[in-house]
Every structure is written in C-alpha cells, then in structure tokens.
Amino acid sequence: MANPKPPYYAEITYDIDNETERALAPIDPEGEPRTWGADAKLGVVGKPLPRVDGLLRTTGRAKYTADIQLPGMLYGEIVMSPFPRARGVRVDAASARKVPGVIDVMTPESTGNDNKFGGGGASLFTDSPNFVGEYLAAVLAESSEAAREGRRAIMASLEADEILPHVVDVEDAAKSDAPRLGRESNEREGRPSDRGDAERGFGEADVTVDLEMRTAVETHACLETHGSVAAWEGESLTVHDSTQSVYGVRDGVAESLGVPQENVRVIKNFMGGGFGSKLGLDRYTVIAALFAKKHGKPVKIFLDRRQEFLNTGHRPSSIQRLRAGAKKDGTLTALELVSRGPAGSQCSRQITSLYACPNVRVRHTDVSVNMGPPRPQRAPGDPQGSAGLEPLLDKLAGALGMDPLDLRRKNFAETNPSNGQPYSTNPLLECYERGAQAIGWHRRRATPGSDPGPVKRGLGMGAQIWNSGGAPNWRAECVVRPDGSVHVRIGTQDIGTGTRTILCQVAAEELGVPLERVSITLGDTNAPYGGGSGGSVTAPSSLPAVHAAAFDAREKLVALAAPLLGAKPEDVELRGGRVVPKGSSEGGLALGEIVTRANVESVVGAGTRTFHPDYRGTSVVSFGAQFAEVEVDTETGFVRVLKVVAAHDCGRAVNPMLAASQIEGGVIQGVCFALYSERIADRALGDFVNTNFHDYRLALVPDIPEIVPILVGPPDPIVNSVGAKGLGEPPVIPTAGAIVNAVHNATGAWCTDLPLTPDRVLRALGRV
Ligand code: MOS
C-alpha cells in the first residue's frame, strides 16, 4: 500500500505565479493599511522585546499538546512493524486483550471501512509493511502503561506469512542482485532540468573542478514527539494536535472520517518542535478520533521516542556529484549537479538559483529503499545542496587562485538567474561584507592546511537563497474590547518561533496601545484561516493579515468616535491609543471609551493578506551568508566549530531578538547536520540502530559554537505591508557548507562525507 504523496509538498513549493487571481486579492487602496516603509516611525515593531509567552514557557505553565489530560481519557499505542519488508503480517489482538486495562485493538480487519487515511485511498494500517515503523495496529487502554503492555504483547506474537528481502542502503539498492522494490527498477530518474547549455559552458571554461558530496539521513528530533488528543461531543470532534498546520489537520481528519470540516476543531497551543515533520495529517490522529468515537471517551496517542525516529519522516541522504567551470577571472560558465538518493532527496535549489551562471545542468535519481517516506525538514533539500555547492565553489576558488569571498562577489546575481526577474530587495553583498568583517576574514590563511597544528584552525563561508514571500489568503481579526484591550485572532500556529509575539507587536503598533494590552488566540481552527507553518511562510503571511485587521478596527473606531466627538470622520484620527481631533494632542476618546459609548460589544476589524501590485513578476527571496571558524585536531579527527557569523536578510525584523533566535536555532541544526547527526541503518536487519537521543547524536551544549547573528537589509517594500520576509528556514542552509570549507582551509583536505565524525575526518586526512 503506497503512501500517498503528502499534501504538504504542495504547500511548501507554493508558487505565486500559479496562483489564481482570486487568491491574489488585489490591494484595495482604501481598505489597506499603509505599508511601513524604511522611514516609518514605529514604536513597538522593530524592538527586541521578550516573548509575550516567555514567562509561561519558562515556568512550565505553557500547555503543550503532550500535557493535555482530559477527564476519563483513554490511551492509545501504535504497533509498528519490526519487519523492513513482509507480507501477510498477522496481529494477535487476543494477546493484547488479555492484558488488564486493555480495552480495544484496531487492526486492518477490525477497522474495515474505517481503515482509511486521507483522501488518496491510503489505509491506516498495513499487513504488508515496507519499512520498520509502518503502522500495523493500535491498542487502546485505560492507562498508558496498560496500552504499552498491550503493544508489547502484540509485538511479541507477530507473525508473517512471508519475510521478503529488503534493502535500506541507496548504493545496495542499485546493485543488480538487490531486491526489486519498484516495478521495473529501484531507480527512477527525475525530470531533467537545464538552463542554457552546460556542455558548452564547460567547453568555454578555463578551469573546471569536480567534487563528490555525501550527506546522511537526519531526523527532525522534535523534543515533543508526534501525538494527538481527540474528544467528541455528539457529532463534534475536537483534536489537540502537535501540528504545524491546524487547518491542514482539520481538513485531513474530516476527509478521513467522512465528516464535515465544520464538525472538526483542531487546536495547537504550544509545540515542542516540528521542523517540517508535523506539516500534514498523521495516522495517529485519525486512530485517536476513531477510538474516541467508538468508546465515547477522549483518547490520547503520543509516539514514543523510537517510533518518532521510525515513522515521522527524515531528511533523506544524498550522493551528489558536482562540477563547476569558470573563466580565469572567476566568472562561472557552467554548474552541474548529478544526485542520487531516496525518494524526495532532490537538492538543486541552491545551485540553480543562488549564483549568476548561464548554464546549469541538474539530474536526479530517486532510489527506492525500505525506510519509509521522508518529510520536509527545515529547508528541505537545501542544507544538502548547499553542502555540495559551497565546497564546490571553494574548490574552484582554490583552482583559480582566488579568495572564495571574491569568487562569490564576482558571481553575484543582479536578477533571478532562473527567470530574469528583479528582486524586491537583495542585500547579499552586504551579508558578505558584514559577515566577513565580523569573523575577521582577513585572518584566513590563503594556503589551506598551512596552520602548523596539530590542532589546526580554519575559516570557511557559504551563502544561501530562499523564497520567502509567504502564502495567500491568510486572514485575521482584531477585537477591541470595552476595557480598551485588543485581542488578535488568527488560525495559524506558533511552532516555537515567536509568532504570538510579533503578531501582538503589529496589532499594538497599528492601534497605538501598549503591548501588554494585546492578547492573541492562535493555533485554533475556530479562528480565521491561517495556513500551515512551513516554508518560512508564517511571518510574511500572518503579519500583513493582522496588520490589515488592526487597520480595519482602527477605521471602524474612527468612524464610531467621530459623532461622539461632534466631528466628521475625516477630521479625527487614531493616535497613541486615542481617537483625537486631527492635529490635536488633547481630548478625544480612548479605545475602550469608544466601544463603551458606541454601545457595542466590541469593535471587530477583519483583514486578509493581500499582494502588492508589483509582487507578480518580482522575486521575493531572502539571502544570507555564514562564516565559520573551526578547529580540527588532525591527530584525533575531532572537529570543533568555534564560531559562526550568520548574516541574514529578513526584510523588517519585527522583533530582532526573535529573529536572532531563529538564526541561532538554524545554525545549531546546521552544526548537527555537518558534524553529528546521522540515523544509522542496519543493512542486514533493515532496522535503524540509533533511535534514541543517546545514540543519535545532536549538538550538545559544549558543541555549540559562539553564534553571531547579524540582521541585514531594509524592510522589503513588495513582500507585504509590514516589510517582513520569512526567516525560519534560511539560517540552516549554509552552515554545513561553511564548516566543510573551514575544515578544508584548516587541513587542506576535502572532507565530503557528512556528518564529519572523527573517523571520516581521519580518513580524509589519510590518517587511517
Ligand atoms: Mo518546513 S520543512 O517547510 O516546516
């Protein structure tokens, strides 16, 4: 049973040029807030204020989905396949039912017509698993202990009609004697992609270099595992879900259960990490809803840590062969990427769009293996692609006798190289200059490996591009209450990035009230539509929606206040949280007074994210550059990252402290990807051996370098009325490439097999 192509791929590859006119609701100049340009005088927006929910989070009072306990709640556990590939797996439900406290067992047979997941004909369970971790059954019990005991009983009694040969390694899968997983072959060539004529470009080159880069399977490693709590009241279902998309889960649950969307409410309050693995509907949510309906009680299902490693997606591995050609002066004439990897491992965005190069050739082959579907992970494809591209450029710079920074300056793209469009803003050169200065680029040894050692230091850099204009149709409401407080309502969720805070800042700014007077409801499908938090779209899509809603409330307050002040609406204005006669600093009415005196319950402003007339035809992207300093112990192979300077553009940083925090988190995950993280498959067993936080290595506190975030660039005049672009994903992209380059600068060796564990480094150094 094939897994359906997850709907969220469409969401993150969202393309403005394919949007309908309706979606791109044209700006109504009367109904729109004024765009906050570079010279706007703002009081709350742009300030590095602490998170509005910071105290709740640090004192443990913030309720994460995993914390939800409802009266009478039952507990579910998923039984996942221990077989990488089998047919006719039999679940012995009776073995679990014998366990005291176990109430029910769900299997493919027992669910019958209910065994339906999403709208694509997929099932909740299989009896023919194709990877370790596929759903076989679910157990329901009165306690989580009993549910786990029931799961253990089933796991111990599993039998299969046939255990089939498996393959979990991409290179094994290509061998002639490999078990065939696909129809004709385990390999499927992707659509070729060419710009210009790469062969001609290489022909025109004075210098050509090539490089092979390998990257490993990384997992999202969310601290809060995946899970749901489902509760019915009559025909209405409420789901608390640890999700990056409450609306996405609502639609998926409704479709799976065959109930109207309006009968389903999905809530996500606080979240312990998603990183792309929680963008879509998951099976446990549907199972919890089915159990809850059948037994008339709320049901909670959370995956355990090992299950989290097995069946919530991963960043697929890659094998990349890269080639670059340039003229003597460094002008790129051709770039080429030929890559292979498990399904979804395409990683060509950086090579096709970051640098000016007329000829680019991309070929990719997906290879079928028994390891379950990958999922988007923070900048899907890009840390991998960047880890190949940036070292390729440094190798080229070496061959040309050029400084790597000069080579990148030389190939700066004035316009979007894929389509010739102008950029809304492009401060990449400033990212280069400020980053280079902050790291002390002049200290870089021109001759790689010339540090006498044995512990050698080196500097390296990388750059990055990301589409960051956000998505259409996001809506919000701004409610002004009789006490003068303001309440923002928007469906989108705060996945830990600080969305709550920046949205409150925008409402406070537009209505002229202190931030403490603004509260917010988000992560709830009872609030106006806000889409999934993926693709770095949340800030650029939600900020203008809230801005527009606050503006609408402002217009309504002015209209209500004018007659109360005995004036015409055009003669009064809202300033400093009061509606006053134009030009006057005295008198007037506070917002609460207006609501009270107008004798209304509240004043509700509504807003939608709209698009600037020049948006279509403009490339709205964010650039960044990172500079890493590393220390390589050439005797032990240990690499330590000492410092990363990360200069990134996000247009207006509504809250520079939170923007810097996004950069820090991205760099830390980039360090994990470069040096530590690798989910290891046992080729013989087809299982994964390090499915816990002891054996799966993340960067620990002593491994985290000094990180210097630098926010570069003016507010973007095109992206939205706030001038803010997305920043969630960009900072994870260039870190690994910069580290590989720094290791080369330190040692003179190309370590191109990530993560750079000591054994791999020693091998690259020729020491083992
Ligand atoms: Mo992101 S990988 O689009 O959550």
pLDDT in tens, 433-449: 999 999 999 999 999 99
pLDDT band at 23 (very low <50, low <70, confident <90, very high): very low
Question: Mean pLDDT, to the nearest integer, of 8-20?
Answer: 40
Asked whether residue 1 is domain-assigned, the answer is: no
Range with lowest mean pLDDT among 29-33, 137-141, 649-653, 733-737: 29-33
- Name the residue range of residue 421's domain: 318-469+616-764
What pLDDT is attached to residue 21? 40
Distance from Cα 534 to the centre of ligand 1, integer Å = 4
Q: Is 376 in the pocket of ligand 1 (CB under 6 A)?
A: yes
- Same-domain check for residues 604 and 694: no
Question: Mean pLDDT, to the nearest integer, of 500-517?
Answer: 97
Question: Mean pLDDT, to the nearest integer, of 89-106?
Answer: 97
Q: What is the pTM of this model?
A: 0.95
pLDDT digits (tens, 9 = 90+) for 333-353: 999 999 999 988 999 999 999
More confident residue, 26 or 518: 518
CA 101 to chain centre: 39
pLDDT band at 408 (very low <50, low <70, confident <90, very high): very high
Closest ligand 1 atom number to CA of residue 279: 4
The fraction of the chain above a pLDDT of 90, given in percent, is 90
Asked whether residue 187 is domain-assigned, the answer is: no
Q: Is 377 in the pocket of ligand 1 (CB under 6 A)?
A: yes
Asked whether residue 279 is domain-assigned, the answer is: yes
- Same-domain check for residues 111 and 253: yes
Q: Is 496 in the pocket of ligand 1 (CB under 6 A)?
A: no
Collapsed DSSP state (helix, strand, coil) of residue 224: coil
Domain count of the chain? Answer: 3
Asked whether residue 624 is domain-assigned, the answer is: yes
Query: Which helix (H) or strand (E) segment is 228 a member of?
Result: strand 227-233
Asked whether residue 630 is domain-assigned, the answer is: yes
- Same-domain check for residues 109 and 258: yes
Q: Is 679 in the pocket of ligand 1 (CB under 6 A)?
A: no
Query: Which helix (H) or strand (E) segment is 245 a member of?
Result: none
- Same-domain check for residues 134 and 276: yes
What pLDDT is attached to residue 20? 42
- Same-domain check for residues 365 and 461: yes
Domain boundary among 291, 311, 331: 311
Asked whether residue 45 is domain-assigned, the answer is: yes
Q: Is 279 in the pocket of ligand 1 (CB under 6 A)?
A: yes
Distance from Cα 514 to the centre of ligand 1, integer Å = 33
- Same-domain check for residues 290 and 333: no
Q: Is 654 in the pocket of ligand 1 (CB under 6 A)?
A: no
pLDDT digits (tens, 9 = 90+) for 539-598: 999 999 999 999 999 999 999 999 999 999 999 999 989 999 998 877 899 999 999 999
What pLDDT is attached to residue 330? 98
- Same-domain check for residues 153 and 249: yes
Pocket probe for ligand 1: among 218, 312, 378, 499, the residue whose CB has the most ligand atoms within 8 Å is 378
729 is catalytic: yes
**What is the domain-level CATH number for residue 567?**
3.30.365.10
User: Taking Cα atoms as reference points, which of 338, 213, 6 lies closest to residue 673?
Assistant: 213
Distance from Cα 380 to the centre of ligand 1, integer Å = 7
Distance from Cα 101 to the centre of ligand 1, integer Å = 39
Q: What is the mean pLDDT of the chain?
A: 94
pLDDT band at 30 (very low <50, low <70, confident <90, very high): low
Question: Mean pLDDT, to the nearest integer, of 634-645?
Answer: 98
- Same-domain check for residues 498 and 578: yes
What pLDDT is attached to residue 457? 98
Asked whether residue 662 is domain-assigned, the answer is: yes
Q: Across the beta sheet with 236-241, what order do the strands follow? A: 102-106, 135-141, 74-80, 299-302, 227-233, 236-241, 264-267
- Same-domain check for residues 631 and 604: no
Q: Is 621 in the pocket of ligand 1 (CB under 6 A)?
A: no
The fraction of the chain above a pLDDT of 70, given in percent, is 96
pLDDT digits (tens, 9 = 90+) for 460-502: 999 999 999 999 989 999 999 999 999 999 999 999 999 999 9
Rounded to whole angstroms, what are the CA distances from 741 to 453, 464, 548, 752? 17, 15, 45, 10
pLDDT band at 200 (very low <50, low <70, confident <90, very high): very high
Q: Is 648 in the pocket of ligand 1 (CB under 6 A)?
A: no
Collapsed DSSP state (helix, strand, coil) of residue 732: helix
Distance from Cα 535 to the centre of ligand 1, integer Å = 5
Distance from Cα 376 to the centre of ligand 1, integer Å = 5
- Same-domain check for residues 141 and 267: yes
- Same-domain check for residues 323 and 269: no
Asked whether residue 303 is domain-assigned, the answer is: yes
- Same-domain check for residues 550 and 604: yes
What pLDDT is attached to residue 183? 74
Ligand 1 atom 4: the closest Cα is on which residue? 276
pLDDT band at 28 (very low <50, low <70, confident <90, very high): low
> What whole-number distance in Å separates Cα of residue 427 and Cα of residue 626?
14
Using N-to-C axis directions, what is the helix angle for 499-511 and 538-564, rounded to 10°?
30
Domain boundary among 610, 629, 659: 610
Domain boundary among 610, 629, 664: 610
pLDDT digits (tens, 9 = 90+) for 205-235: 999 999 999 999 999 999 999 999 999 999 9
What pLDDT is attached to residue 742? 98
